[in-house]
Amino acid sequence: MKLNTKALRYLTPEDWRVLTAVELGSKNHEVVPTPLITQISGLRGGSGVHKCISNLAKVNLIAKVKNAKYDGYRLTYGGLDYLSLHTHLKRKTLYSVGNQIGVGKESDIFVVASPTGVQYVLKIHRLGRISFRTVKANRDYLRNRNSGSWMYMSRLAALKEFTFMTALRDNGFPVPEPIAHSRHTIVMSLIDAFPLRQITEVPDPAGLYSELIDMILRLAQFGLIHGDFNEFNILIKEKTAVPDIEGGEGETASSETLKVLTPILIDFPQMVSIDHANAAMYFDRDVNCIKRFFERRFHFTSDEPGPFFSDAKAQLRKKGGRRLDVGVEASGFSKKMAKELETYMREVGVDGDGSGDEGQQSRRSEDDEETEEEAEAEEEEDAKAEEQSEGSTDGRGLRGEPDVAKAYDGHPIPGEDLSSQELHGWSSFSDKT
């Protein structure tokens, strides 16, 4: 699903009411009956509602389903995107959308800007597009669950990530700053950093390895296991420090600079409690992912065995302290939500990074293949939507960098003045909303 904000500024208040009505009706109907849309929207006169429905269908925010038993429409991912962006706009969190800087099996990443010109990152969860083949094979599972829709699960993934990110940030963990959350989207701070998978050389592999292992152990001390702790979900922020060297007469301080690398942890939908039934497996997998990557990329192997899950549990019992897994549940992300999301992600094939070196090395190619499958499926769906609706827009969606997967390369775009609406790569959507 491509994000195209071209039509957002032209939607009328009545269009937003009808689109919101379709969203509300989707809680109990896969295809929302047209009379129910009219009733929920509260608009007088059926002709006005039908005109809004036609406008929304033309830009693929809602879609008519073929061979349905009754006249109705379903909410598309584009419609959910617009509703989320509209909420961020009303809260004055966002003003414009820039280039796509990340794409993965589970999300899309965009650079966005606030009304004051501050650049943020917009993460859109798209859990349903993970694998069309896998989802089709599990349709029986989805049919038997009222809460098993792609959009509902994407909303749960966004809620979980925002909740955990907030808790980790408040407790001093190096994670992006959470700014706002709406439906299946998260706005977070833009970090000037590189994904660990893109880095080929570091000045001190042993020091960086130790820092990452310590982060895994520190998470465990707070009752959490990341579940997908690998080079795709770790950003490396580089700082330059000048060593303080005292020089005598005629001597100057050394011109050499030191590079200080700070790891930043991202992506939390797979995070679980240390009391989880499979906690030991997730913990060992996180540790082994780092060990394998450092051995393969930096030719570094630690002399110390472990750490092991039993050691982390013993340390947790000994030190006690605040349990973030309990705190997150108290903040609104319940055990029921966590169980639903975990079951769905396992059913459709999102369960961390896989296993083995081969799984690590082939992850990028799998992303590319599935993205191609997704594009083909979207083209077929868009073609059907165009036939069913009364036309389609000729605008083109924002295009992202093709060489980015899962993690985002958080480099600010230099020289951009966000006060102008004619910026290259930026789309302002605040004119008529």
Residues acting as catalytic residues: 228
Nearest 5°: phi and psi at 62? -130, 160
Helix (H, G, I), strand (E, B) or coil at 145: coil
Placement of tokens 């389609």 in the chain? 392
Minimal CA–CA distance to 226: which of 284, 310, 150, 178? 284
Q: Which two tokens stand for residue 417?
A: 């003045």
E strand or H helix at 421, and its extent? none
DSSP state of 176: P
d(C-alpha 55, C-alpha 43), whole Å? 15
State the SS3 of 301-316. Answer: CCCCCCCCHHHHHHHH
d(C-alpha 211, C-alpha 355), whole Å? 23
Helix (H, G, I), strand (E, B) or coil at 15: helix
Measure Cα distances from 195 to 65, 67, 189, 191 in Å.
41, 46, 16, 11
Helix (H, G, I), strand (E, B) or coil at 230: coil
E strand or H helix at 58, and its extent? helix 46-58
d(C-alpha 199, C-alpha 204), whole Å? 13
Residue 111 and residue 121 in contact, taking contact as beta carbons nearer than 8 Å:
yes
Residue 278 and residue 217 in contact, taking contact as beta carbons nearer than 8 Å:
no
| Cβ neighbours around 353 below 10 Å, total | 20
HSE at residue 289, side-chain half, CA atoms within 13 A, is: 27
Query: Is residue 117 left, alpha or beta, with left meaning phi > 0 and alpha meaning psi from -120 to 50?
Result: left
In angstroms, what is the C-alpha Rg of the chain?
24
Residue 247 and residue 253 in contact, taking contact as beta carbons nearer than 8 Å:
yes
Q: Which two tokens stand for residue 419?
A: 């006060």
Q: Which two tokens stand for residue 16?
A: 């937003």
